[in-house]
Amino acid sequence: MEGDIENVDGVIRITRIRVHYTLKIPEGTRDRAQRALDTHQAKCPAAVSVMGSIDIQIGADIEEV
């Protein structure tokens, strides 16, 4: 995870958070893993708490093993 801190109108703020997962999943479950990633932000209490204040970007490298 990484983020950006910027001066916004004279106030130092966290403006962006980037979360990147490295996932090893069983073969044949990619669709389920992708659905979980697609709904992650809406179901994450921390993300919902800062929605509208901080831009959150979620991505993943997915490997089926």
pLDDT tens sequence across 18-55: 999 999 999 999 999 999 999 999 999 999 999 999 99
Helix (H) or strand (E) holding 37: helix 30-43
Residues 53, 65: Cα–Cα separation, whole Å: 37
Indicate the domain borders of the chain: 2-64
Residues 5-18: tens digit of each pLDDT: 999 999 999 999 99
Which pLDDT value is given to residue 48?
96
Which pLDDT value is given to residue 30?
96
Q: Mean pLDDT, the chain, as a whole number?
A: 96
